[in-house]
Structure 1
């Protein structure tokens, strides 16, 4: 992002703070995303929506639901052996090899921080026996949460025209996941050391740049495929208030600016003083392009 785009992002947030202190309405929010939603994490109250029921592709934010199902199943220190079929997915992966063994807990860290599609496949097969069987669980759990306009066919979010969600549904799924302590721990982790059974080490870094650039951010999950464009589910905790936002189908600068806008709006709306929300670290334009499945 050039200096002009960076300054523009800062100006949007500064303008938002002025609007909020003057009693702005939610429809005044300057968002680029096609769809968005914002909820109070504790009460479940919707604080903002934009095209909340529009059909969108979730990309790797799918992994929020995958993780929720695995965590709810429990026994997270159980050893899982990688099967050949787990490795037949591209492109974002941890290069799992058939026969390798990891705990479910390790695999959850790898899936959510690296956004590894092979790890998602491994967890799905371990949980349900096959990807189709796991997809059935995904759709059932989503419906139980009220996410009735979504349909899932895989655990990772690589594009399939029959794999879709809405901003409304995705924020409900994210809120349920954030009620799980292990999930909260993982999505707020910036760095994690991934160790293979043969002793190889890889330092994983969370793709969610807001963890480093928005004070109080404590999650959640990025996503990208060409049809989905950029996706970000994010959360922030300040002053005893927690909000969760969903931004769907926008460009790379947009996910960061829109998400900061929503988080700021929600926290102030819930009672956090505006002066405590001002964030001077608008640079989220770190090197690197989004990859499919992240």
Structure 2
């Protein structure tokens, strides 16, 4: 058997064979870029990808057989300073009167309506009362907690308070309530008298407790809130929807409070079975928080509702205040307006991919290239903007307006 000779190369026109060396190098260096005020950079070491000899026709550069060529340089998209969810911002069904504010926990504000002028908030006030009590006397979910005793003076005031049309539960002198039972009376049937009993038990006097409420509001950044009583019966207790949503986020961190506000009913001493005024519980994902209603405030609701978005649970927190009709219709109006907002916000939420796994990303200033180890996804609504940053050398983070970061690990390209 004879060995076949390799075919002759094509005739060259007036030029001899040439040998060219092509150096293909990708240098990866740390980089810093501007991104909404945040430093952006990736892992900071140098690496050369490949060096290869390229032998071929001097005119066409076609490689000769058997010669190793360099791999192509990865195509890297520039890492932007931010990511905006595509589409127009959702048009929400805001109530025609009063004011409202809605946020998605850990993501940021969706919007507001009606301005944010302080106004009476009625029994929504009791969320702060419960928050201060649970901060001073923490409870595990389901735990009874310490016991408080109704004084003779507190029991004696009940007939007069009832004649005034206050929201109450019956009490007796010497009655013993656990902290959990008192919080149930406070938050489900909205007992004004129990708000005062809890305030006296915690701080020694109602005045001292109200001072705690206002100090706590200041600590939480509730700049437009002023408490004058622990129940909200006093119309001088005023706040805004946005401030109360801020409190709602803080209150939901208490597992004991979350457990209580989602109870449709419960049984306590003397009063027996009490019912939650929040008729949205169990509908539209609603898990609490607190209703309020009186002539000066109209119908009010501070609400929380959960949604599943592509396997993730997100919590919508909002407030609707100042829904006026008759004394009896204001609260149903607030409940209906809140449910419409919850439905609309839930429908607008979706998962969006910011970076694709395996797709190289490069810094805008020509710095190093890295590859996300998995997809970087965020939950949001059209028009929402996430800030992109690199909190350390090996991750890229999408930071929401609320400051929560979703991160993805990266490797050198």
TM bucket (normalised to shorter chain) is 0.7 to 0.9
The structure where strand makes up a greater share of residues is 2
Alignment match, 1:179: 253
The answer to whether the Cα contact below 8 Å between 1:59 and 1:228 also exists between their aligned partners in 2 is yes
Alignment match, 1:31: 95
The answer to whether the Cα contact below 8 Å between 1:33 and 1:247 also exists between their aligned partners in 2 is no
Moved over 3 A (4+): 22-28, 84-90
Cα distance between partner residues in 1 of 2:249 and 2:174: 35
Cα distance between partner residues in 2 of 1:183 and 1:189: 10
The answer to whether the Cα contact below 8 Å between 2:101 and 2:320 also exists between their aligned partners in 1 is yes
Q: In 2 relative to 1, CA 99–244 (structure 1 residues): closer, same or farther, beyond 3 Å?
A: same
Cα distance between partner residues in 2 of 1:150 and 1:41: 21
How is 1:59-70 mapped onto 2 (pairs within 5 angstroms)?
59-70=122-133
How is 1:95-106 mapped onto 2 (pairs within 5 angstroms)?
95-106=170-181
The answer to whether the Cα contact below 8 Å between 1:218 and 1:237 also exists between their aligned partners in 2 is yes
The answer to whether the Cα contact below 8 Å between 1:241 and 1:270 also exists between their aligned partners in 2 is no
Q: In 2 relative to 1, CA 187–62 (structure 1 residues): closer, same or farther, beyond 3 Å?
A: same
Matched, 1:149 2:224: yes
Under a length normalisation based on structure 1, what TM-score does the superposition of the two structures give? 0.77
How is 1:138-287 mapped onto 2 (pairs within 5 angstroms)?
138-161=213-236, 163-196=237-270, 202-212=272-282, 214-239=283-308, 240-251=313-324, 252=330, 253-271=332-350
Larger radius of gyration: 2
Alignment match, 1:80: 148
Cα deviations by residue, 1:209-245 (Å, 9 ceiling, x for unpaired): 1114x23111111101101010011111121111011
Cα deviations by residue, 1:18-66 (Å, 9 ceiling, x for unpaired): xxxx9664555242341101111234x1111113421211100000000
Structure 1: give runs of 5+ residues left out of the alignment.
1-21, 273-294
Cα distance between partner residues in 1 of 2:233 and 2:249: 22
Structure 2: give runs of 5+ residues left out of the alignment.
1-85, 140-144, 325-329, 352-413
Q: CA deviation at 1:94?
A: 1.0
Under a length normalisation based on structure 2, what TM-score does the superposition of the two structures give? 0.56
Which structure has more relative contact order (CA 8 Å, sep 6+)? It is: 1
Tell me the C-alpha RMSD between the 2 structures: 2.0
- 3-state SS of the aligned residue for 2:287? strand
